[in-house]
Amino acid sequence: MIRKILTYPDPVLKKKAAPVTVINEATRELIRDMAETMYDAQGVGLAAPQVGVSQRVIVIDVSQREERPELIVCINPVFVHTEGESYEEEGCLSVPKYAANVHRHAKVVVKALNLDGEEVTYRAEGLLAIAFQHEIDHLDGILFVDHLSPLKREMFKKKYRRMAEEG
């Protein structure tokens, strides 16, 4: 089922998500819905808080649309290693019609649980590393615009207020 994606400035997006303590059918349904919602919105990642569920669950797929999907599911993901720097343009399904360059790590190692409750480790660089950082930020109530300089963040807020007023 495609779920509604919450958009800035919804307060749920600023809340730290709770760890998943039991992986059950409700968890699996949430993940199926998140994947379907992400693909429908043509995104490369989605965190549970973006669909109004304050749990530490993310889905990512950085494969190209014409390729076979490669869905990554992470429950309670944590960084175990980060290195290097990257500065790439990012957008977000919860911040439509806005993109900006963001400082991130170039490489990351993430540990998480999969759907079977088994621990998995991902080593990532490039777009996948950025996607992990972006989605895990969502679990901590951080949006990519929170990484902008104070001046750029104020410009973003003004632009978003104007867009909201225009409907």
Reported as a single tens digit per residue, the pLDDT across 101-113 is: 999 999 999 999 9
Enter the pTM of the model.
0.95
The pLDDT tens digits of the residues spanning 107-164 come to 999 999 999 999 999 999 999 999 999 999 999 999 999 999 999 999 999 988 888 7
Strand 72-83 and strand 107-113: pairing? antiparallel
pLDDT score, position 67? 75
Q: What share of the chain is helix, strand, coil (3-state, %, to 5)?
A: 35, 30, 35
Binding-site sequence positions for Fe cation: 92, 134, 138
The pLDDT tens digits of the residues spanning 9-66 come to 999 999 999 999 999 999 999 999 999 999 999 999 999 999 999 999 999 999 977 7
Which residues 6+ apart lie within 8 Å of 7 measured at CB?
A: 94, 95, 96
Positive or negative, the CA dihedral 53, 59, 64, 67 is negative
Q: Determine whether 154 is an active site residue.
A: no
Q: How far is CA 4 from the centre of its chain?
A: 15
pLDDT score, position 167? 66
Binding-site sequence positions: 92, 134, 138
Q: Indicate which residue of 85, 119, 135, 154 is catalytic.
A: 135
Q: What is the CATH number of domain 11-166?
A: 3.90.45.10
Do 104 and 83 contact (CB within 8 A), yes or no?
no
pLDDT score, position 109? 98
Positive or negative, the CA dihedral 48, 53, 56, 57 is negative
pLDDT score, position 85? 97
pLDDT score, position 105? 98
